[in-house]
Amino acid sequence: MGQGPTGTTLTNARLLTPNGVRAGWLRSEDQRITALGTGEAPQSDGEAVDAGGRWVMPGAVDIHIHGGTGAAFTDADPERTMRIVEFNRSQGVTTLLGGLVAAAPSDTLDQIAALAEVAEAGGIAGVYLEGPYIAPGKCGAHDPALLRDPDTAEFARMLKAGRGQVRMITVAPELPGALELIRAAVSEGVVAAVGHTEATYDQTRAAFDAGATVATHIYNQMRPLHHREPGPIAAALNDERVTVELINDGVHVHPGAARLVFDNAGGDRVALITDAMSATGLGDGEYTLGKLRVRVEDGRARIAETGQIASSTIVLPDAVRRAVHTMGVSLETAAHAATSVPARALNLSGVGSLTAGGKADLLLLDDDLSVAGVMHEGTWIRRP
């Protein structure tokens, strides 16, 4: 149901703004937030919607997601890609990247080109490459036969296929040519992330010094933390330049370890992600991730042949709710971790923050933090 041309005023709301919680109102017009304030809303033309005292946060921003509702970004099909996008929008995720896994070189180029088409049309915020330049010993749900050492010439072909829409790439710093690849990515405006890695603390620090600024799903598929060999986990948590991704589904990371990330990286460096796969929104069964068979039981996705964890089946507001209810993180901090922090990490403008001039992407939450309403670019996807 769309708004009229004169816009919408949302009243009686608890707004999660960059400056804290404000009890008040928000005005949107022409797909943008035009004003917000405390107290009673000023009189204006257009629709007025009573939020009923609900929490209002920016639409969620998922920078690490692979699929949903039976579709995957690797399908290289714009129609199937939009199926994932529309499902996520209905759940309150109004901005997302199209995440790819390791594939053969020609397949990767076809997938990037297909996602670039959707990005150019405004469906997704860009393309994320999780691989193929990752460590075979930490490949996770990637086919090890498709992994390869960093290659700047191949990466240049990826960028050409992406037509300016490749936003981030994950690299294992210990691989030959990794630092050169990281520098090449950064020079082209692509965010370099460290992950799926056996790297030492010093090797990881070298990657950050070369320009990498994100740690891919902290803890998962990286050398574990040890007090004499701290590895990439400590390197990322100790570096103020680095945004740390966290899969907060209760499966990938224990709540105690997840809380440790928030306590050490602070509220401005943790980016909640889903790493969600095609099974999201559909329930238990057998699915594929890239070329691998994945079995989902009780919402937990595992590689059928090995039993190893493979992606998640949550949507990002689930991670926010879990952070608050299970870990004791404040709603304000958890909301920032799903909005402004990932948006800033990838230099995505106009999203992730309730500020005048930003996109009118809103997520309304009831007191139990369940989704009560969603607005995307000024249009109600789910009316409160």
Active site residues: 275
Cα dist from 267 to 20, 43, 244, 330, 368, whole Å: 13, 36, 11, 10, 21
Question: What does the alpha-carbon distance between residue 217 and residue 130 come to, in Å, rounded to a whole number?
Answer: 11
Residue written as token pair 């999203």: 351
Give the model confidence (pLDDT) of 27-85 as tens digits: 999 999 999 999 888 888 889 999 999 999 999 999 999 999 999 999 999 999 999 99
The per-residue pLDDT for range 87-120, each reduced to its tens digit, is 999 999 999 999 999 999 999 999 999 999 999 9
The predicted-structure confidence for 236-280, as pLDDT tens digits, reads as follows: 999 999 999 999 999 999 999 999 999 999 889 999 999 998 889
Is the peptide bond prior to 42 cis by the omega test (within 30 degrees of 0)? no
Kindly state the helix (H) or strand (E) to which residue 337 belongs, with its residue range. helix 331-337
287 vs 281: CA distance, rounded Å: 13
pLDDT of residue 132: 97
Mean pLDDT, the chain, integer: 94
Contact call for residues 62 and 273 (beta carbons, < 8 A): yes
141 pLDDT above the threshold of 90:
no
Instruction: Give the span between the Cα atoms of 361 and 16, in whole angstroms.
Output: 13
End-to-end CA distance of the chain: 12
Top pLDDT among 70 and 305 is at: 70
Q: State the pLDDT confidence band at 1, using cuts at 50, 70 and 90.
A: very low
Q: Which residues are annotated as a binding site?
A: 130, 196, 217
Going by pLDDT thresholds of 50, 70 and 90, the confidence category of residue 362 is: very high
pLDDT classification of 304: cutoffs 50, 70, 90: confident
> How far, in Å, CA of 355 to CA of 336, rounded?
13
**Residue 96 and residue 81 in contact, taking contact as beta carbons nearer than 8 Å:** no
Task: Give residue 5's pLDDT.
Answer: 47
d(CA 3, CA 153): 48
Predicted local confidence at residue 307, as pLDDT? 77
Quickly list DSSP for 244-264.
EEEE-SSSSS-HHHHHHHHHH
As annotated, the binding site for Zn(2+) includes: 130, 196, 217
Please state, for a pLDDT cut of 90, what percent of the chain lies above it.
Answer: 85
Length of the chain: 384
Q: Report how far residue 30's alpha carbon sits from residue 261's, in angstroms, rounded to the nearest whole number.
A: 39
Find the mean pLDDT for residues 156-160.
Answer: 98
- Average pLDDT, stretch 273-292? 85
Averaged pLDDT, 176-185: 98
Distance CA 358, CA 291 (A): 39
> How many other C-beta atoms are found inside a 10 Å radius of the C-beta of residue 245?
27
Nearest to 324 by CA among 356, 379, 370, 374: 370
- The confidence band for 125, taking pLDDT boundaries of 50, 70 and 90, is very high
Rg (CA), the chain: 20
Over residues 344-368, the mean pLDDT reads 97
pLDDT at 163 over 90: yes
61: left (phi over 0), alpha (psi -120 to 50) or beta: beta
Q: What value, to the nearest 5°, has the Cα angle with vertex 376 and ends 371 and 381? A: 55
Mean pLDDT value across residues 137-145 = 91
Taking the C-alpha atoms of residue 53 and residue 197, their distance in angstroms, rounded to an integer, is 45
Residue 226, pLDDT > 50, answer: yes
Question: For residue 351, is pLDDT > 90?
Answer: yes
Report how far residue 110's alpha carbon sits from residue 98's, in angstroms, rounded to the nearest whole number.
13
pLDDT bin (cut points 50, 70, 90) of residue 282 is confident
Which domains are present in the chain?
A: 8-58+354-382 (2.30.40.10), 60-345 (3.20.20.140)
Q: Distance between CA 259 and CA 250 in Å, rounded?
A: 12
Quick one: pLDDT band at residue 182, thresholds 50, 70, 90?
very high
